[in-house]
Amino acid sequence: MQTIASRQEMKNLEKALDALERIIDDRGIAEVMMMLVHICDEKACHVEENRQDTELVKAWRKVSDNLISKKASDAINSLPDSSAYYSERWG
């Protein structure tokens, strides 16, 4: 059963979301997505090498594949370059 997050947990989540938003604004969503793909692939390799848990490996690879799917790529490519977009507007 899921419990209600404490105020501290909510504060920590807000800080993490703010940090992630700054990274996206600085690097762009496409680069952040590729970073996530890399992390998922590394997790799949680590599990495969150390745990031999084929279902977990498949799950991490599926997440990675979906992050770089055609649909996701098309949506990302429709966005303006975030670093240029924000610097033009808010310098």
- pLDDT tens for 33-84 read 999 999 999 999 999 999 879 999 999 999 999 988 888 888 888 887 655 5
The pTM of this model reads: 0.72
Report the distance separating Cα 10 and Cα 21, nearest Å: 16
Q: How far apart are CA 76 and CA 45, in angstroms?
A: 26
Identify the pLDDT of residue 75: 85
Tally Cβ neighbours within 10 Å of residue 47: 19
